[in-house]
Amino acid sequence: MSVDLSSADCVVISHGHYDHGGALEGFLSENKKAAVFVRKDAFEPHYNITHSPRKYIGLDPSLSEHPSIVKTGSSFVPFEGGLLFTVKGKEKYHSPANDVLTCGECPDEFSHEQHLLIREGDKTFLFCGCGHKGIVNIMKKARRFKPDYCFGGFHLSNPTTGESVSEDILDGVAKELGNYNTIFYTCHCTGERSFRYLSGKTDNIRYFSCGETFEI
C-alpha cells in the first residue's frame, strides 16, 4: 500500500492473535518511535483446537517487554480523541466460531481484545478488529459515543472450516445492528455467507477487503 511504516505515530493491536499482531517484530525493526498499544494479557498463549495437535495462534511472547509496547487496561486513552475499551461478560448472540479458540488450557474469554473509538471533527469511528466479544455487545458498550462508522470483523464464521453461524444468530445480529444509525464496514472473519445474509436483512452493512482505502 506504499505506506512508510517508519512514519507511523502509534499502533493499536486489537487482540492477541497472530493474524492481527504477527508482523509486530517486523514493524518494530522499522519503527523506533511509535507506541504500540496492546492489552496487558495479549501475550498469553492462544490456540486453535480445530487442528490436531492444536495450533498456536498467539503473539510472540518475547516481544512482551519491548520498550515500545504500552500495555493497556480495560479503558485507556492512547491519544487525543481516541479511546480504547474492552467488553466483559457473557455475549448476546454468542458466536460458536469462538468455541475452537483457547487461552492456554481454558476457553478464550477474550479479555485480550480491545476496541478503538476515534473522534475527529463531527464524526466518531469505531474499530473492532475481529469482534470476538460480539458486535452486538461491542456496540452496546459504545452506544453512548454514537459511532457514525464501524470497521471490523464480526467473527461469524469458523476460521478453519469457513462454516457460518446459524441463521437464528444472524437474524438476531441483523435486527440489533439495524437499530443503529451507524454504517458498518465488515470483512475478514465475518465470512462472505454471513455478510450476504446480514446485508439482506439490514441496509447499513457494507463489505470491505484488505488493501482498500476509504475517504470519509
User: Strand pairing partners for 75?
Assistant: 85
Q: Cell 459515543 belongs to which residue?
A: 145
Mean pLDDT of 33-59: 95
C-beta separation of 117 from 85 below 8 A: yes
What pLDDT, in 10s, does the model give residues 16-32?
A: 999 999 999 999 999 99
| pLDDT the model gives residue 43 | 97
The CA radius of gyration of the chain, in Å to the nearest whole number, is 17
Helix ranges (DSSP H) in 3-134: 18-21, 24-30
If we measure between CA atoms, which residue out of 140, 143, 115 comes closest to residue 20? 115
Mean pLDDT of 150-154: 96
What pLDDT, in 10s, does the model give residues 171-212?
A: 999 999 999 999 999 988 999 999 999 999 999 999 998 888
Distance in angstroms (rounded) separating the CA atoms of residues 117 and 105: 32
Distance in angstroms (rounded) separating the CA atoms of residues 109 and 79: 27
Distance in angstroms (rounded) separating the CA atoms of residues 31 and 125: 26
| pLDDT the model gives residue 10 | 96
Q: How far apart are the first and last CA of the chain?
A: 18
Considering only the top CATH level, what class is 5-207? Answer: alpha beta
- For all residues of the chain together, what is the average pLDDT? 95
If we measure between CA atoms, which residue out of 207, 188, 193 comes closest to residue 130? 188
Specify the 3-state DSSP secondary structure of 182: coil
Q: DSSP letters along 12-49, please?
A: E--SS-HHHHTTHHHHHHH-SS-EEEEETTTTS-EEET
Distance in angstroms (rounded) separating the CA atoms of residues 137 and 131: 9
Strand 205-207 and strand 75-76: the pairing is unpaired
Residue 159 has pLDDT above 80, yes or no: no
C-beta separation of 118 from 82 below 8 A: yes
pLDDT top residue among 186 and 90: 186
If we measure between CA atoms, which residue out of 157, 150, 143, 145 comes closest to residue 188? 157
Domain ranges of the chain: 5-207
| pLDDT the model gives residue 3 | 86
DSSP at 116: E
